[in-house]
């Protein structure tokens, strides 16, 4: 096992020992600052606690895969922090958040120092000490009594003390355009109420002043907004960090914001470096144990020396994500985030090993599913955000695991290949619909029905996704003709209309919207619908005939939606 004192020791930084740099460093670029912070934070906030805590809770690979699971436990003995860095000088009065200001000794762009250099250093020392728990104050003053605490080379030595503060610390440029520790005890503003309502109205899930719609859609909007920034609905520290990153990005700031939660044991980083993007860059770093059955991946990691702890198969894993703009017409409209890259970091050099699939391997998913239905899966999940379920020894636990498994992987299963989904369906059907399990499921009727409904939704949603592709005249990744589009759409809708007994309002709305888009196609109207019948070719006549059939099928789906809506209104009255 690589010792924590050696982690990233050959990453280009002038390390003197485990927590000190041997010479001064000048960093003015956010990317270079991020490299420095990666080395310090991974070494001191992930690897050191891992090696000093016998029962350190490694992050499961699936926890880094959206949608994110709710936290189960808070590990108060582990470090947590928040920080923000600005690629500019601070204007203390005009900043939009509260913090205690620290002052650099260099006060001019040409490197000139303040004539009261010692007083400035003493003032910074007193400010830092005043925000520490009393038990650390004397030791801190003694350790740093002759040190310029705001210099970047001092930052690793300060880290144990910064971790003992409840609030965030701040880095920014000085007059020389180099980063330094510019503030501590920062509070990030979190105007969750107005932010949530503005976002919900913008994506069409809220209507101004309509409390019923707000209550119905609030959790969806809240969860979607938080997932855009890499979290489930979680603690105040991470919520405020996510929303502050959102605010800074909207303001056009060049910044890096980072947070480590004591519950998720994951370093989450947001960065905006002046690029014209809708969202800040988002990535996570955690210590993960690679699954024992990923033989090829394990072989590559071992060959190139990327294990942090080989006997336990532990690696330093970095995941990069892509955010998605909300699309109400997409059957996977709850997909706020997806994985764009996975990197294993070398524990000594920090070099990234790419091209591995550790967290979203379909064979892994399939093996987990098999283990769940056989009752052989050992692990734990949170069922419906409230109940911790451990292992799969009973049918009740298996059903709860299945519900959570289907919920987490729902939007991926909607997109995966027919072959993969066919295998999944066989495993689920053999378990859920086996006569041998009828008696057990009879006593778990409500839970069993929840799992079946979730499975049925995914099955139907896969068909609706195909219909969404047909709207773009695409089928199985290939461009198709209008003739083929109509044939495939009619076959699909004829199958769906017999399954409409299991009524999912959102899917019916999506079907109607897709058909509407096909029928409104301007070229289709001009070329095949408006001209006289006798002017059309045989292929054109087939398209017009199928157009009418599609209109008829759409009317059928609209009738079902109207009947169900009327039924609900009658029940309500």
User: Any idea which of 82-91, 492-501, 542-551 has the lowest mean pLDDT?
Assistant: 492-501
Q: Where does the pLDDT of residue 209 fall: very low under 50, low under 70, confident under 90, or very high at 90 and above?
A: confident
Residue in the structure block whose two tokens are 């001191």: 44
241: helix, coil or strand? helix
Q: Which residue do the tokens 């200001």 mark?
A: 101
Residue 308 burial class via C-beta count within 10 angstroms: exposed 0-12, middle 13-18, buried 19 and up: buried
Please report the pLDDT score of residue 29 as a whole number. 92
Give the Cα-Cα-Cα angle 262, 169, 100 (nearest 5 degrees).
Answer: 135
Strands (DSSP E) found in 2-153: 81-86, 98-101
Q: Name which of 418, 415, 541, 553 is nearest 482 in CA terms.
A: 541
369-388 confidence digits (pLDDT tens): 888 888 888 777 888 877 88
Question: Taking each helix axis from N to C terminus, what angle separates 505-519 and 445-471, rounded to the nearest 10 degrees?
Answer: 10
Write out pLDDT tens, residues 305-316: 999 999 999 999
Which tokens sit at 321?
């994500």
Q: Is 0.75 surpassed by the pTM of this model?
A: yes
Region for 247 from its dihedrals, namely left if φ exceeds 0, alpha if ψ lies in -120 to 50, beta otherwise:
alpha
CA–CA separation, 196 and 191 (whole Å): 8
276 phi/psi in degrees, rounded to 5: -85, 80
Predicted local distance difference test score (pLDDT) of residue 110: 54
- Residue 257 backbone zone (phi > 0: left; psi -120 to 50: alpha; other: beta): beta
What would the mean pLDDT of 201-230 be, rounded to a whole number? 89
Cα–Cα nearest to 323, from 355, 357, 280: 280
CA dist 421 and 415 (Å) reads 9
Confidence of residue 501 (pLDDT cuts 50, 70, 90): low
| pLDDT value at 399 more than 70 | yes
Partners of 383 in the β-ladder: 387
Closest by CA position to 452, among listed 497, 502, 411 = 502
Orientation of helix 445-471 relative to helix 482-497, angle to 10°: 160
Tens of pLDDT, residue by residue over 478-489, are 888 888 988 988
Specify whether the CB–CB gap between 51 and 3 falls below 8 A. Answer: yes
Q: Is residue 287 helix, strand or coil?
A: strand
The two tokens of residue 478 are 């290939």
- pLDDT tens-digit readout, 227-271: 899 888 887 888 899 999 999 999 999 999 999 988 889 999 999
- Using DSSP, state whether 116 is helix, strand or coil: coil
The residue behind tokens 């250099």 is: 117
What's the average model confidence in pLDDT over 179-183?
94
Residues 516-541 as b/e (b if ≥16 CB within 10 A, e otherwise) read: eebeebeebeeebeeeeeeebeeebe
DSSP calls for 385-439: TTEEEE---SHHHHHHHHHHHHHHHHHHHHHS-HHHHHHHHHHHHHHHT-GGGHH
* DSSP character string of 543-556: HHHHHHHHHHHHHH
SS3 180: strand
List, for residues 17-30, the tens digit of each pLDDT value: 878 887 788 889 99
3-state SS assignment for residue 101: strand
pLDDT greater than 60 at residue 111: no
């Amino acid at each position: 096992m690589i010792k924590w004192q050696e982690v990233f020791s050959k990453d280009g930084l002038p390390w003197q020992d485990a927590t000190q740099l041997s010479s001064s460093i000048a960093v003015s670029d956010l990317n270079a600052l991020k490299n420095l912070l990666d080395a310090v934070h991974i070494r001191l906030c992930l690897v050191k606690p891992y090696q000093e805590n016998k029962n350190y809770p490694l992050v499961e690979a699936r926890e880094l895969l959206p949608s994110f699971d709710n936290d189960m436990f808070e590990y108060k003995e582990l470090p947590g922090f928040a920080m923000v860095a600005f690629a500019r000088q601070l204007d203390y009065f005009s900043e939009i958040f509260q913090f205690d200001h620290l002052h650099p000794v260099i006060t001019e762009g040409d490197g000139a120092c303040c004539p009261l250099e010692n007083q400035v250093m003493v003032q910074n020392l007193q400010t830092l000490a005043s925000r520490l728990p009393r038990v650390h104050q004397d030791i801190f003053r003694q350790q740093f009594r002759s040190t310029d605490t705001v210099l970047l080379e001092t930052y690793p030595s300060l880290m144990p003390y910064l971790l003992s503060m409840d609030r965030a610390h701040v880095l920014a440029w000085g007059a020389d355009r180099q980063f330094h520790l510019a503030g501590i005890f920062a509070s990030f503003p979190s105007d969750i109420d107005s932010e949530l309502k503005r976002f919900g109205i913008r994506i069409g899930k809220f209507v101004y002043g309509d409390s019923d719609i707000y209550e119905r859609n609030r959790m969806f909007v809240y969860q979607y907004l938080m997932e855009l920034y890499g979290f489930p609905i979680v603690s105040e520290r991470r919520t405020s960090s996510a929303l502050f990153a959102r605010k800074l990005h909207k303001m056009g700031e060049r910044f890096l914001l980072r947070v480590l939660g004591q519950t998720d044991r994951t370093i989450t980083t947001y960065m905006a470096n002046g690029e014209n993007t809708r969202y800040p860059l988002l990535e996570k770093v955690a210590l993960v144990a690679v699954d024992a059955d990923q033989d090829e991946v394990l072989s590559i990691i071992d060959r190139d020396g990327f294990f942090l702890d080989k006997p336990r198969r532990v690696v330093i894993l970095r995941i990069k994500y892509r955010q998605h703009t909300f699309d109400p017409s997409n059957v996977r409209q709850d997909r706020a985030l997806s994985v764009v890259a996975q990197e294993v970091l070398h524990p000594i050099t920090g070099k990234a090993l790419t091209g591995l699939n550790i967290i979203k391997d379909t064979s892994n998913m399939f093996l987990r599913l098999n283990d769940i239905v056989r009752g052989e899966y050992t692990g734990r999940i949170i069922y419906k955000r409230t109940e911790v379920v451990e292992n799969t020894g009973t049918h009740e636990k298996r059903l709860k695991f299945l519900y959570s498994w289907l919920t987490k992987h729902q939007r991926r299963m909607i997109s995966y290949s027919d072959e993969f989904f066919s295998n999944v369906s066989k495993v689920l059907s053999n378990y859920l619909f086996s006569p041998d399990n009828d008696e057990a499921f009879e006593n778990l009727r409500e839970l069993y029905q929840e799992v079946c409904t979730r499975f049925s939704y995914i099955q139907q949603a896969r068909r609706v996704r195909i219909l969404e592709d047909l709207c773009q005249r695409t089928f199985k990744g290939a461009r198709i003709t209008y003739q083929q589009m109509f044939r495939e759409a009619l076959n699909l809708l004829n199958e769906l209309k017999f399954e409409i007994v299991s009524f999912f309002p959102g899917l019916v709305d999506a079907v109607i919207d897709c058909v509407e888009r096909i029928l409104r196609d301007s070229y289709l109207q001009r070329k095949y619908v408006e001209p006289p019948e006798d002017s059309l070719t045989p292929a054109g006549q087939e398209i017009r005939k199928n157009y009418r059939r599609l209109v008829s099928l759409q009317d059928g789906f609209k009738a079902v939606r109207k009947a169900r809506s009327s039924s609900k209104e009658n029940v309500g009255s």
